[in-house]
């Protein structure tokens, strides 16, 4: 992921949380809270829950 995409999401954390929870219904509030403000942590949590590749997760997050 490019640094600009990562910075885009870090600047809009609430939107990232909402999009992640909407896209991956398996995510719990705890998953989102633990990752608070950390894009890489959020992607790691999604990967752990879903088994999707990092690239697929980032692609889905960036699709807006």
Closest CA to 2 of 64, 44, 58: 58
Whole-number pLDDT of residue 64: 58
Whole-number pLDDT of residue 15: 85
Whole-number pLDDT of residue 54: 93
- Please say whether the beta carbons of 58 and 43 come within 8 A: yes
Q: How far apart are the first and last CA of the chain?
A: 15
Options 3.40.50.150, 3.40.630.30, 1.10.1470.10, 3.40.1800.10; which CATH number does 3-62 get?
Answer: 1.10.1470.10
What's the burial of 57, exposed, middle or buried (CB within 10 Å: 0-12/13-18/19+)? buried
Whole-number pLDDT of residue 13: 82
pLDDT digits (tens, 9 = 90+) for 11-64: 788 888 888 889 998 888 888 888 887 888 899 999 999 999 999 998 998 875
């Amino acid at each position: 992921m490019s640094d600009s995409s990562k910075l885009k999401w870090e600047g809009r954390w609430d939107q990232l949380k909402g999009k992640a929870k909407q896209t991956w219904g398996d995510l719990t509030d705890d998953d989102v809270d633990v990752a608070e403000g950390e894009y890489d942590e959020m992607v790691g949590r999604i990967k752990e829950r879903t088994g999707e590749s990092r690239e697929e997760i980032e692609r889905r997050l960036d699709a807006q």
